[in-house]
């Protein structure tokens, strides 16, 4: 995350201009561990998989995503802090320990977030979940309608393009929707010609619903963020951070930047925020179906 913040020009000085009244971000994922980097900022949790009452993450995916969003970097002296470290989290566990889940749980999760929206002032919904094609069109349509409903209720829905690229029209079905901000991966040349870059398998447009997809890209290769399986020995912590790659990691970087935008300009609507995100992106001179408007740039988004 240290490298990512430099790449998108998200400096401490810039973050400080946004004040410290963090917004609330909802997540649908594998859950979230009580990592010290989240302090007391997990304000809501519901388990749609196993029905447990306390927050947990038996996969590690959700905790890593949350760290990218808003980890404080406490256990790394700030080095691996997330993009919006003042933000609060409402987390729905809709995926199991393998990262698998049912559409019904996704629908129930969005319903729950919509019910909790006013109580916690939720402004953003982060969905770092890639999906393949589902044969049951009725279930998929119900999910699509629920995602549209979340956007229509004012939430900024930020979702992963998926890791099914590089062929055309390989976006995750959720990422193909019009009423979402679809995030793909791109490193902007940081790793040179290194193999296994996320941008080489990031889902690509166009979409059957919206020709210009993805909307934006962010770094997603070898991102170091919070580890759900950290060890505490006395006052010491081990394995507090872990590296992961994918559009799942790029998505919270964009959602975190948008959280800072709403922290600084709380009157922005989701449509206004989306337009500013798009029009302040850095053009990487890549095809539209790979980069969208380009790389998220906090320096210009937050001015």
Write out the DSSP string of 91-130. EEE-B-TTS-B-HHHHHHHHHHHHHHHHHHTEEEEEE---
Q: Peptide bond before 38: cis, by omega within 30 degrees of 0?
A: no
Spatial distance between the Cα atoms of 2 and 233, rounded to a whole number of angstroms: 26
226 in Cβ contact with 59 (< 8 Å): no
Question: Is 12 labeled as catalytic in the residue annotation?
Answer: no
Choose the catalytic residue: 61, 186, 202, 225: 61
Q: How many CA atoms lie within 13 A of 174 on its CB side?
A: 33
Choose the catalytic residue: 29, 37, 58, 289: 29
Question: Is 64 labeled as catalytic in the residue annotation?
Answer: no
Angle at the Cα of 193 from the Cα atoms of 188 and 195, rounded to 5 degrees: 105
Choose the catalytic residue: 128, 225, 245, 248: 248
What three-state secondary structure class fits 218?
strand
**DSSP-assigned letter for residue 272:** H
Helix (H) or strand (E) holding 28: strand 24-29
Spatial distance between the Cα atoms of 27 and 61, rounded to a whole number of angstroms: 12
Question: Is 61 labeled as catalytic in the residue annotation?
Answer: yes
Residue 233 has φ and ψ, to the nearest 5°, of -125, 100
Nearest to 280 by CA among 263, 267, 295, 292: 295
Contacts of 161 (CB under 8 A, 6+ apart): 130, 171, 172, 175, 182, 183, 184, 185, 202, 203, 204, 213, 214, 247, 250
Spatial distance between the Cα atoms of 188 and 294, rounded to a whole number of angstroms: 9
Active site residues: 29, 61, 248
């Amino acid at each position: 995350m240290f490298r990512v913040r430099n790449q998108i020009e998200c400096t401490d000085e810039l973050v400080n201009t946004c004040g410290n009244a963090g917004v609330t971000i909802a997540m649908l994922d594998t859950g979230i561990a009580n990592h010290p980097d989240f302090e007391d900022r997990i304000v809501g949790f519901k388990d749609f998989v196993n029905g447990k009452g306390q927050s947990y993450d038996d996969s590690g995916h959700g905790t890593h995503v949350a760290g990218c969003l808003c980890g404080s970097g406490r256990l790394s002296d700030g080095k691996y802090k997330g993009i919006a470290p003042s933000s609060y989290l409402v987390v729905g566990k809709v995926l199991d320990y393998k990262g698998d889940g049912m559409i019904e749980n996704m629908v129930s999760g969005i319903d729950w977030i919509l019910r909790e929206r006013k109580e916690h002032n939720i402004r953003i919904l982060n969905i770092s979940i890639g999906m393949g094609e589902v044969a049951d069109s009725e279930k998929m349509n119900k999910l699509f309608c629920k995602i549209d409903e979340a956007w229509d209720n004012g939430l900024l829905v930020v979702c992963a393009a998926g890791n099914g690229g590089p062929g055309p029209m390989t976006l995750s079905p959720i990422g193909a929707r019009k009423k979402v901000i679809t995030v793909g991966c791109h490193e902007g040349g940081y790793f040179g010609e290194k193999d296994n870059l996320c941008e080489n398998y990031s889902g690509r447009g166009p979409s059957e619903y919206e020709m210009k997809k993805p909307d934006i890209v962010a770094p997603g290769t070898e991102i170091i963020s919070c580890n759900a399986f950290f060890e505490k020995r006395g006052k010491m912590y081990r394995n507090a951070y872990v590296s992961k790659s994918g559009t799942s990691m790029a998505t919270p970087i964009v959602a975190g930047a948008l959280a800072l935008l709403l922290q600084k300009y709380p009157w922005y609507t989701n449509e206004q925020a989306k337009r500013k995100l798009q029009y302040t992106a850095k053009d990487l001179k890549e095809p539209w179906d790979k980069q969208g408007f380009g790389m998220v740039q906090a320096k210009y988004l937050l001015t």
